[in-house]
Amino acid sequence: MDLYEHQARELFARYGVPVPDTEVADTPRAARRAARRLGGRVVVKAQVKTGGRGRAGGVKTAADPAAAELTTRQILGMDIKGHTVRKVMLARPVSVEAEFYVSYVLDRAAGRFLAIASAEGGMDIEEVAATRPDAVVRIPVDPAEGVTPARAAEIAAAAELPPEAAPVLLRLWEVLTREDALLVEVNPLVRTTEGRILALDGKVTLDDNARFRRTREESEAADPHTDPLEAAATAKGLDYVRLDGEVGIIGNGAGLVMSTLDVVAGCGARPANFLDIGGGASAETMADGLSVILSDPAVKSVLVNVFGGITACDAVADGIVRALERVRLTRPLVVRLDGNAAARGRAILDSHPHPLVHQATTMDSAARRAAHLAATAA
């Protein structure tokens, strides 16, 4: 379950992560009053559970309360990647000297967490990750050991973040572990011209399996206007997030799926979704996943990238074959199987040929194939 930015900010503040002063408004008049309380000049930010708000015109600076009212009137009701803006967050602006990126994400395939950080945060972090991957560090975190002050300092140093960022990394780890989160991300984490470290934006994804331990965030995050594909996936028990690309992605393990998204982007295509099937790849799971992805009219090809572990690749291949008996495949499907029983899995797919199913042996070749098929689709 994704939180809105303002909910993530409230969560950060609860754990001592420094954040700017903000207020939430759902009407232009309320925004005017909030801007007045915040000192007049504010940044107005659309509250939707998707990225790309800035480029879509959902983040604007207002010089005074009257401008904040007008800006809010313009932003409310906007459609950003299929999400309708129904509230905005107003933040007191800060003078930024440098922007950084920090996050923790669950890597199910490896049974650990990943700390991901870069000294080059901001709107272009995806481009940085694709064109200069060495500028983004990925450091494994053993959940049994966690992030200690020394480990936080190590992560900050590896990413060339200022030393003052280390305490923030430590507190974000507390958010992740104490709130049962799968992802905690700050982009950008900034150093102001006054030398303060602030989290200007935040993204938090909570583990739906831990709902019984939550009440407040669960009720506040409930959204009757959730993307219909995400709602359909949730009803099927799938860990799915809709993006704005043309290559559908299915993988096992959050870390592998995120890497797949990066590789697809590096091939010049845009991922259409994040879909992690975890440790299970039954026919039902594969059919449900394919059904949701193929329901997105923007999808031109689908990439299944699986590394066999506890669930062997032959079981995954069998699940794909049986899923294709239930779901009518209308777009090309590229399958890459590696790890446990990969050879047997590939043999199973070979013995059940389908005109739209293609196999690849490496993640790079699979991504290139999926990107090419998407680009040449009618």
What pLDDT score does 108 carry? 77
What pLDDT score does 130 carry? 72
Q: Which long-range contacts (CB under 8 A, 24 or more apart) does 169-172 make?
A: 169/102, 169/115, 169/117, 171/12, 171/15, 171/16, 171/17, 172/12, 172/15, 172/17, 172/102, 172/104
Residues 68 and 170 in one domain: no
76 within some domain: yes
Residue 240 falls in the annotated catalytic set: no
Neighbours of 216 (CB within 10 A): 10
Residue 160 falls in the annotated catalytic set: no
Catalytic member of 10, 23, 101, 120: 101
What is the distance between the alpha carbons of residues 44 and 66, in angstroms, rounded to a whole number? 12
217 within some domain: no
pLDDT, one tens digit per residue, over 12-69 is 999 999 999 999 999 999 999 999 999 999 999 999 988 888 889 999 999 999 999 9
Tell me 233's DSSP state: H
Using alpha carbons, list the distances in angstroms from residue 274 to 17, 150, 247, 255. Answer: 27, 33, 10, 11
The phi, psi pair for 77, rounded to 5°, reads 90, -10
In sequence order, what are the beta bridge partners of 35? none
Residues 195 and 240 in one domain: no
The phi, psi pair for 91, rounded to 5°, reads -125, 145
| Residue appearing with tokens 């797949």 | 260
What pLDDT score does 281 carry? 59
Residues 83 and 100 in one domain: no
8 within some domain: no
Catalytic member of 99, 120, 185, 246: 185
Residue 262 parent element (H or E):
helix 254-266
Boundary residue ending a domain (186, 211, 236): 211
Asked if 152 and 170 count as a contact pair (C-beta separation under 8 A), the reply is yes
pLDDT, one tens digit per residue, over 327-358 is 889 999 999 999 999 999 999 999 999 999 99
Residues 67 and 102 in one domain: no
What is the distance between the alpha carbons of residues 263 and 365, in angstroms, rounded to a whole number? 10
User: Domain count of the chain?
Assistant: 3
Asked if 21 and 199 count as a contact pair (C-beta separation under 8 A), the reply is no
Residues 86 and 189 in one domain: no
> Cis peptide before 188, with omega less than 30 degrees from 0?
yes
What pLDDT score does 353 carry? 94
Residues 116 and 247 in one domain: no
79 within some domain: yes
198 within some domain: yes
Per-residue pLDDT of the chain (378 residues; tens, 9 = 90+): 789 999 999 999 999 999 999 999 999 999 999 999 999 999 999 999 888 888 899 999 999 999 999 999 999 999 888 788 999 999 999 999 999 999 999 887 788 899 999 998 876 676 777 778 888 999 999 888 999 999 999 999 999 999 999 999 999 999 999 999 999 999 999 999 999 999 999 999 998 777 656 555 454 444 544 677 888 888 888 889 888 899 999 998 888 898 999 999 999 999 999 999 876 556 778 888 998 999 899 999 999 999 887 778 998 899 899 889 888 899 999 999 999 999 999 999 999 999 999 999 999 999 999 999 999 985
- DSSP reduced 3-state for 168: helix
6 within some domain: no
Boundary residue ending a domain (36, 56, 91): 91
Residue 140 parent element (H or E):
strand 136-141
| Full DSSP string of 43-76 | EEEE--SSS-TTTTT-EEEESSHHHHHHHHHHHT
Q: Is 75 exposed, middle or buried (0-12, 13-18, 19+ CB in 10 A)?
A: buried
Residues 162 and 234 in one domain: no
Residues 61 and 105 in one domain: no
Using alpha carbons, list the distances in angstroms from residue 240 to 229, 273, 337. Answer: 9, 7, 21
Residues 120 and 204 in one domain: yes
Boundary residue ending a domain (211, 236, 271): 211
Nearest partner of 48 among 86, 12, 19, 16, judged by Cα: 86
What pLDDT score does 248 carry? 97
Q: Give the CATH number for residue 27.
A: 3.30.1490.20
74 within some domain: yes
Of the chain, the end-to-end C-alpha distance in Å amounts to 35
157 within some domain: yes
Asked if 248 and 301 count as a contact pair (C-beta separation under 8 A), the reply is yes
Domain hosting residue 271, numbered range: 228-375
Q: Give the CATH number for residue 122.
A: 3.30.470.20
Identity of the residue numbered 256? L
Residues 240 and 369 in one domain: yes
Neighbours of 127 (CB within 10 A): 11
Residues 260 and 355 in one domain: yes
What is the distance between the alpha carbons of residues 378 and 366, in angstroms, rounded to a whole number? 20
Q: Give the CATH number for residue 303.
A: 3.40.50.261
- Biggest CA pair distance of the chain: 68
Is the sign of the CA dihedral 32, 36, 38, 43 positive or negative?
Answer: positive
Residues 258 and 347 in one domain: yes
What pTM does this model have? 0.60
Residue count of the chain, please give it: 378
